[in-house]
Structure 1
């Protein structure tokens, strides 16, 4: 097996150029008006490196990044000098995809999954229940849990109203997460461009032994197990909030703030659901849609359907690793790394996703051109 590259559409370089132009314009605005920089305003809420930088340095830095990114996009579009393009893409991926975004994107994504995940799962199971032998039982279990939560006051109308007020208050603070997610998009975008350029630079050379499907299946299984285990501590700790002996806040506090208890449980369920989805990277249902998925049941799962969200989540964990590690050191609470092992989680999940992609990739005919988009 040899490493090859193929030519497709120029969409990635175009997107990279658009990102660069917007970034340079945003940097110019903040250079002119450093008082409008949304980072570092609250010394007690440091969530990433941008909160540590002087406001006056953010604008010039983004202008320079936008100019260099535009040059890199042009190189990617022309397909020339793939080696420097690959190196530059790796730098952009490291700076904008790992170092700068900080913790807010992963927190935002976690809250979003916690709010929408149960609804999406229930509607999906409900839509596919009639073609799945265990479907009616699962739907009945969902309904029973909802009825019990409502009748016991655990999650009734009053709790949901208070929970909605919390969400509305959080929505008013989305300016900074939006900018950080924009920077993260740059890291992902230029990482793909750099990877394709690296493939072009290695065109015609034999692929390393560890990238062969049979090898990827072996080490990918180990990476998947580690990633699943990383998701369990937080999810299981949150599930103790269902008992009279919760870990963290005491039972009286949770009883007085049921909206916080509901939110914590939803976050815990999101973590446990993530562990289940991670298992799909080595399970049969990760390659063929299961019977309870409407319309798609029995069809092959597109590789991108698992690789794209898995890679994004691994990137979010990598972003959170640096600021979270600094927070752990500052507060001398090393036990938090057991609940949120972001560095190990990012590496293991990224490895599991890469192994899945290597295992399921299709052989391609050699090409003399490299894929620029």
Structure 2
């Protein structure tokens, strides 16, 4: 059984994820202290352009006591991250084969930091951010090239798409990802699995053949759900009031000229992402097709598909949760269902896309260089 220590920083992520999460937590907690003591830059409340509270769940927060709550959260998450990093720590990267080598317990005490870490990760990744993350990502390409081609974007710049309160949301997502990574590394140690690949020798639903089956269903869901939203925005750009009144379209065009074309652009952006999602279950998602000059026939690096899919899964889920909160708060009217109901399906889109990316990873990973499992794995199962 191969248990050599990986040398690259990325391959050693299970060893440093907990410490990175602790560093982030401590740093953000200190920011909370600074804001509570009067330092500028508190990213919510009156400092946030979302003054009506329609987007951010923390729209009513103030530097005091908000800063102290952030400091307390940072302290708690630092302790949790360090606990995850130190408990059951081993220099081995392969699976633990003997019970006496495992220094962690299996009772409630060992579950508590794990559950706290996952809850904190969900809070930072899904709950605190809002739909402006998706808007910033979607419109940044256009805003970046607008000055070069003299495009009319009503004076909007990249700085307008990414004000500090929205950039802060990215910082929160980063912290959540680090906590999730720390929790996953700890979970692998607790299951006596390989630190690097997570295998235990019993594949089950993670086997390539099984992942191909459930991953294909996830791909179809992820590619279909956004089309409901796309249909409304394309119709509005053409002057067809699908799901809204004619007055809604007229007033929107009058108050913000070009808004329906912008909506059609965003819909096309989503539809294009749906088409790319199909690659997670098709051959051209593993080998570059012939029409891509210079890359034809070459193997697609797995991370080239997994990283964008995961990021998109996060931002569309966050955006969908924003609309769900608005619907629960009674901010929307059923008479104008086209303006909000399709967006409430986005968490389903994000969940399916995350599952499709995971299945793609499970299908494409080969033999683990550190534990030796996966040796002699057959090529990817038949794809659609």
TM-score, normalization by structure 2: 0.72
SS of residue paired to 2:21:
helix
8 Å Cα contact 1:289/1:297 also seen in 2: yes
Mapped to 2, the partners of 1:280 and 1:115 lie a distance apart of: 28
Matching residue of 1:63? 71
8 Å Cα contact 2:237/2:263 also seen in 1: no
8 Å Cα contact 1:281/1:352 also seen in 2: yes
Among 166, 172, 187, which residue is 1:177 paired with? 166
Among 206, 210, 219, which residue is 1:215 paired with? 210
**Deviation for aligned residue 1:277:** 1.3
SS of residue paired to 1:203:
coil
Alignment pair present for 1:39 and 2:38: no
Matching residue of 1:12? 17
How many residues matched?
322
Mapped to 1, the partners of 2:35 and 2:256 lie a distance apart of: 40
**Cα pair distance change 1:90/1:14, threshold 3 Å:** same
8 Å Cα contact 2:287/2:297 also seen in 1: yes
Mapped to 1, the partners of 2:159 and 2:241 lie a distance apart of: 26
Matching residue of 2:364? 360
SS of residue paired to 2:68:
helix
Highest relative contact order (Cα 8 Å, sep 6+), 1 or 2? 1
Q: After TM superposition, list the pairs within 5 Å mapping 1:262-341 onto structure 2.
A: 262-329=261-328, 330-333=330-333, 335=337, 336-341=340-345
Alignment pair present for 1:245 and 2:240: yes
Matching residue of 2:219? 224
Matching residue of 2:135? 107
Mapped to 1, the partners of 2:343 and 2:131 lie a distance apart of: 15
**Deviation for aligned residue 1:281:** 0.9
Mapped to 2, the partners of 1:167 and 1:353 lie a distance apart of: 32
Matching residue of 1:189? 178
Q: Which structure 1 residue ranges, 5 or more long, are not aligned?
A: 120-155, 369-373
8 Å Cα contact 2:44/2:62 also seen in 1: no
Matching residue of 1:200? 189
**Deviation for aligned residue 1:337:** 2.5
**Cα pair distance change 1:52/1:208, threshold 3 Å:** farther
Moved more, 64-73 or 250-259: 250-259
Mapped to 2, the partners of 1:318 and 1:241 lie a distance apart of: 24
Alignment pair present for 1:166 and 2:156: yes
Mapped to 2, the partners of 1:29 and 1:263 lie a distance apart of: 39
The structure that is helix-richer by fraction is 1
**Deviation for aligned residue 1:17:** 3.5
**Cα pair distance change 1:242/1:337, threshold 3 Å:** closer
What is the Cα-based RMSD across aligned positions, in Å? Answer: 3.3
**Cα pair distance change 1:197/1:245, threshold 3 Å:** same
Moved more, 92-101 or 10-19: 10-19
Deviation readout 1:266-323 (Å, 9 max, x if unpaired): 2121111111111111111111123344543322122222111211221223323433
8 Å Cα contact 1:114/1:270 also seen in 2: no
Among 334, 342, 352, which residue is 1:348 paired with? 352
**Cα pair distance change 1:294/1:16, threshold 3 Å:** farther
Q: After TM superposition, list the pairs within 5 Å mapping 1:130-145 onto structure 2.
A: none
**Deviation for aligned residue 1:229:** 1.0
SS of residue paired to 2:281:
coil
Mapped to 2, the partners of 1:251 and 1:297 lie a distance apart of: 48
8 Å Cα contact 2:117/2:180 also seen in 1: yes
Q: Which structure 2 residue ranges, 5 or more long, are not aligned?
A: 90-103, 194-199, 373-384
**Cα pair distance change 1:266/1:323, threshold 3 Å:** closer
